[in-house]
């Protein structure tokens, strides 16, 4: 299996990113506890041709978890979510074994959100109310410290392959150090999003159990408010990015992501 970068341009050193991903996989082959149930892609080589970087890995015959969940009965789906949490915990415990703590960096996250997406978020009263909820809850969270891990960087069901027995993570950045909630939250957001129908309803009344199984698999026994806060932060980023693309994209995002933002703001308010 080969992953080919785009050509480099003035804004993006695409070859360097693919090479870094290859080097990360090489490291994980040594430090991630590979076994018959959990692992990472096996890197076979890296080369450059015609201005592009090419990473070659051993093929893994599995479907991404978002699609795999649809093929399972509810007990199997919950077990798969639990396994995804176990895989993420193994990744976080790979490499540096020292346990460190750090604050969530609330001020930096809020500054980024306001500077990057503030103009479009302010256009909708409900969205801006959710931002203010994030701001208020953040002021209470910022004094606390959380376990620091080397983060996946884009952990979601679409970035995990499963063949029914083994779970393999994809697109592992593994460059930034930060709280584990910043890997837990995107997975939970996307798990929620893939559980909705075209009519906007949750397709699965067992969603909360799937969420709980994922967190149990990870072994997360920390502050629920911190997870909700990180989820709402990312959800507002998703919405802001869509809104910057124009009216049609903004309308889609308000239909698709708006209900998630409202639900997270409600949950965050309840545990505050």
pLDDT digits (tens, 9 = 90+) for 15-58: 788 888 999 999 999 999 999 999 999 999 988 877 778 888 99
pLDDT at 268: 87
pLDDT at 3: 81
Banded pLDDT at 258 (limits 50, 70, 90): very high
pLDDT at 221: 86
Q: How confident is the model over 150-163, as a mean pLDDT?
A: 95
User: What beta strand segments (E) does the chain contain?
Assistant: 2-4, 38-40, 43-49, 52-57, 63-64, 100-102, 146-150, 160-162, 167-169, 177-179
Q: Residue 272 above 70 pLDDT?
A: no
The structural domains of the chain, ordered by start, are 2-57 (no CATH), 63-271 (3.90.1200.10)
pLDDT at 208: 86
Q: Which of 170, 159, 164, 109 is nearest to 134 (CA)?
A: 109
pLDDT in tens, 190-239: 999 987 755 445 555 678 889 999 999 999 988 889 999 999 999 999 99
């Amino acid at each position: 299996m080969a992953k080919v970068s785009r050509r480099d341009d003035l804004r993006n050193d695409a070859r360097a990113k693919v090479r870094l991903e290859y080097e990360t996989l090489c490291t994980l082959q040594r430090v991630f506890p590979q076994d018959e149930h959990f692992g990472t892609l096996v890197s076979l080589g890296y080369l450059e041709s015609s201005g592009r970087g090419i990473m070659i890995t051993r093929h893994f015959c599995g479907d991404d978890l978002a699609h795999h969940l649809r093929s399972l009965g509810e007990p199997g789906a919950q077990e798969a979510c639990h396994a995804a949490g176990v895989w993420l915990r193994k990744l976080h415990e790979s490499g540096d074994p020292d346990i460190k703590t750090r604050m969530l960096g609330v001020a930096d996250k809020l500054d980024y959100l306001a500077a990057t997406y503030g103009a479009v978020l302010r256009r909708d009263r409900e969205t801006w109310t959710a931002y203010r909820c994030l701001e208020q809850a953040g002021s209470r969270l910022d004094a606390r410290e959380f376990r620091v891990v080397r983060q996946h960087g884009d952990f979601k069901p679409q970035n995990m392959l499963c063949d029914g027995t083994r779970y393999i993570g994809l697109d592992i950045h593994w460059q930034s150090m930060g709280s584990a909630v910043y890997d837990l939250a995107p997975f939970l957001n996307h798990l929620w999003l893939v559980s909705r129908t075209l009519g906007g309803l949750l397709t699965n009344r067992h969603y909360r159990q799937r969420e709980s199984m994922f967190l149990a698999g990870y072994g997360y026994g920390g502050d629920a408010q911190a997870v909700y806060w990180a989820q709402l932060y990312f959800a507002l980023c998703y919405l802001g990015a869509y809104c910057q693309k124009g009216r049609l994209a903004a309308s889609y995002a308000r239909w698709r992501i708006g209900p998630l933002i409202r639900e997270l703001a409600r949950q965050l308010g309840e545990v505050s």
